[in-house]
Amino acid sequence: MSLSRASVSACVIILLLALGVPVASAQSPAATNPLWAVWLAIRSLQQQINNIQLVPGPKGDVGETGPRGPGGVRVVDSIGQDVGAYIHGSQAAALLGETPPLAMHDIGGTLVGLPVSRDGLVQTSGLSFQDYWFLHLTTDCSGDRYIRTPTPALIPTPALVVGTTVIYPTEPIQTLTFYSREEFDAAHQDLRLPGLCRALPGVPGSTERAAVSVTMDASALGFVPPLVLQ
């Protein structure tokens, strides 16, 4: 059984009334054309949607910090291993005086300024024995080894390369009172071994600006010369 056009129009209007959608009067086109009534209903619903006020939800948690980017010019070795971000000679000299370029290498989460050349690590020159004596907070050279740092403290504080040994400071740099020091007779001594322990003169001791040091074998870095820029 088919429905007349008037019946269809009546059904549409009844449906729209049930949904709460305004409909046209008997004199409007919707009274005689059911498609017109549907178009009016769609337009009314669109207007209602447009008038909805969006309420933002609560702010989410901060995400994890992403990995450190590669930075600018890098130093790499002959097999492509990353040595570190490059600080060229004029910058390093301005910071440190006469010095080779530095490569900022990440060692266990600490950025270390390694003096480098094409042939690998550069031996630290112009040092007196006192420059690589270790300071201690105890009277018997036990506990952490501290090394003096420049004043003012530089960023970065460069590593010392003595023979096959690399010595570098860790954070924080502090002004502390020290009571003993490890002394070494010559630069060719293995600084990873204990030195001669001497008590520091003065009461209560000697106050120095220093940082806890790490001493490691240069071969542990695994660099394969020649080093190049990339």
For the segment 191-211, what is each residue's pLDDT rounded down to a tens digit?
888 888 998 877 667 888 899
Lowest mean pLDDT among 7-16, 69-78, 150-159, 170-179: 7-16
- pLDDT band of residue 164 (cuts 50, 70, 90) is confident
Domains: count for the chain: 2
Let me know whether 80 and 15 are in one domain. Answer: no
Mean pLDDT of 19-36: 56
Higher pLDDT, 49 or 142: 142
**Residue 44 confidence (pLDDT) above 60:** yes
Whether 113 contacts 159, CB under 8 Å? yes
Let me know whether 140 and 209 are in one domain. Answer: yes
**Residue 225 confidence (pLDDT) above 70:** yes
Domain residue limits at 26: 5-50
Let me know whether 45 and 81 are in one domain. Answer: no
Question: String of b and e for 104-120 (b: at least 16 CB within 10 Å)?
Answer: bbebeeeebbbbbeeeb
Let me know whether 172 and 94 are in one domain. Answer: yes
| pLDDT for 128 | 56
- pLDDT band of residue 2 (cuts 50, 70, 90) is very low
Task: Tell me if 65 is assigned to some domain.
Answer: no
Lowest mean pLDDT among 19-28, 44-53, 206-215: 19-28
Let me know whether 201 and 135 are in one domain. Answer: yes
